[in-house]
Each structure stands twice: as C-alpha cells, then as structure tokens.
Amino acid sequence: MLDLSTKRILVTGGAGFLGKQVVAQLVEAGAQEEKITVPRSRDYDLRDLEACQKAARNQNIIIHLAAHVGGIGLNQEKPAELFYDNLMMGTQLIHSAYQAGVEKFVCIGTICAYPKFTPVPFQEDNLWEGYPEETNAPYGVAKKALLVQLQSYRQQYDFNGIYLLPVNLYGPEDNFDPNSSHVIPALIRKVHEAQQRGDKTLPAWGDGSPTREFLYSTDAARGIVMATQGYNEPEPVNLGTNSEISIRDLVELICELMGFEGEIVWQTDKPNGQPRRCLDTSRAKKAFDFEAQVDFKQGLKNTIEWYRQQAT
C-alpha cells in the first residue's frame, strides 16, 4: 500500500466535480493537503507541452482527471475539439511525467472507449473488440489512446502508469449546464424548470430503451484513491456498480423523486446513444478491494437536493 503522506501529488481537474472529491479522499487517505497541487486551466493549458512540463515538475504522483467532456449534444457539435483537446492534454502530460521522473501516473479513461456493441456486462478485455458508439467515438478513441501510451511507456521505460474506466458519474456539484451536461444532471434541471413553468409534459431524448450504469462521485473518488495506493498493473480497470437502469426507468424515477406528475414525451427522432452500458467490476474488487457503497436512489436524492438549493 503506497504511503501518501510524503508524496507531492498533482490532480488535474482537481477543482472540478470529481476532482474535489478525489482531493478530499486523498487527504482522508493520509496525503498532506499542502503537498497536493491543483493546476487551474487559466494558469496551465494542458494542451500546451510547456504547461504540461511545468505541471509535472517535482511531482511524485499525477492523477489526470482533466477532460473536455459532455453529453451526446456536445459530442455531436464538437467532435474535433473533444478529440484534439483530450488527446493532447493526456499524451503530453504522460510524456512530461515520464521525463520528470514521476513515480506514478493515474489516468482516468472513459466508458465511451468501449465498442458500441460490447457484451454486457463490459469486461476490460472487450475494450478492443470494435469501434465505439459513433456519437462519442472521437472522445472515446482519444482517451483510449492514452491506455496504449501508458502500456508502451511501461514496456519501454518501466513507467508506472495505471488506467481506470469509471462509468457515468453523478452527484452534488455535477455540471448542470444544458449545453454540456450528462443525462442525470440534464434531467434534474429539465424537470425542475418544467415544474417552475407549470408544464404538463416533459420531453426526453430517444425512446427510453438504452440502459446506463451510474457511479456516485464520492464512490468514484474513493476507487481512484484506492487504485493510486494499491494498483500497479498495465491492465485497465472498470470502476462502477455492476447494475444498470433503463433511461425510461431513470426518467420516471427522477420525476417521482422530484414530484413531477406530467406526461413524459419521448422524442424518438433524437439519438439514443449506446444501447446498453453495464460494467463487470470484479477486477477492481480483486485488485484493490473496491466496491461502490452509495445506494442509487439515495445518491439521486442528494443530487436533486443540492441542485434545488443552488437553483433557488
């Protein structure tokens, strides 16, 4: 088990939704807060090699959470930006970390890297058995390239980089911007605004048939810190709950928890995204004893309550 108490740790994206939780969990696991650095994008544009070199200097551990990311809408609107930004940030930071003699690099991948038709539950060994779902493939491929980089740097330079694949995250402080948010925050905001207007109907994208799996942000952060301390292998590792819910059931559950009694109108001309998503989480359990703890319904209640407090 890696002792974090003496380590200088860089957490890219550390001021964000997941990043704040990771920093808190690092401190809980023994890291010293004054030795944790959170580079801000205004000071460090990680698409720039010099910024990556500056950020990596004198660090023992780098946890790379920073990403340009969003839901189906953003993926359709800006596929080139999502590919370029995520590839350049990751590949240059990994190279800079290797050059700077960083002891360990923890890279956060994406569930979008999996093939469109992956056998459910997704196993890490399925990662290369097809092309990702088209609407988020540029983002998914860019992030998946970082796994190849880490494995090749381990092989050639003995560089200790690990790669984690968290499923869709949710929780308080998520991104609720309608132009770039993922499904849970987007739905919570949509229902809240419909209630404010007194609407009798709620439009929802697709036909409701796809399934998704969701991991609460504190669970994800705990898994990342556990892997930072106790996992040192080249194989990627899923972080999830190993349970799925259909989008139809999700929309109905959020409406129920928020007290919306109107009719849900499915916009079948809109894209569904990947048909099913559910992870096999046995490798994380076996490798560093990670299991999700937060009940989904409770996690949704916490998220809804936080959003309503911000929205008033």
- Closest among 39, 37, 38, 32 to 7, alpha carbons compared: 32
Ligand-binding site membership of 109 (annotated): no
Residue 182, annotated ligand binder? Answer: yes
Distance set, CA 286 to CA 175, 219, 230, 282 (Å):
32, 17, 11, 6
Q: For residue 214, say whether it is annotated as part of any ligand binding site.
A: no
Q: Is 18 annotated as a binding residue?
A: yes
Is residue 17 annotated as involved in ligand binding?
Answer: yes
Is 250 marked as a binding-site residue?
A: no
Find out whether 116 is annotated in a ligand binding site.
no
Q: 93 a known binding residue?
A: no
Catalytic residues: 139
Three-class DSSP category at 101: coil
Burial class from Cβ neighbours inside 10 Å (0-12, 13-18, 19+) for residue 261 reads exposed
Report whether 15 belongs to an annotated binding site: yes
Residue 166 annotated as lining a ligand binding site: yes
The DSSP call for residue 62 is: E
Contact 36, 28 (CB under 8 A): no
212 in a known ligand binding site: yes
Is residue 29 marked as binding? no
CA distance 177 to 282: 34
Which residues, 6+ apart, have CB-to-CB distance to 292 below 8 Å? 215, 216, 219, 223, 240, 241, 281
Q: CB–CB of 94/150 below 8 Å?
A: yes
Is 140 part of any known ligand binding site? no
Q: Is 171 annotated as contributing to ligand binding?
A: no
d(CA 56, CA 95) in angstroms, rounded, equals 10
Q: Is 234 exposed, middle or buried (0-12, 13-18, 19+ CB in 10 A)?
A: middle
- CA trace torsion 121, 165, 141, 10 (10° rounding): 180
| Feature table: binding site for substrate | 190, 205, 212
| Feature table: binding site for NADP(+) | 13-19, 143, 166-169, 182
| Feature table: binding site | 13-19, 143, 166-169, 182, 190, 205, 212
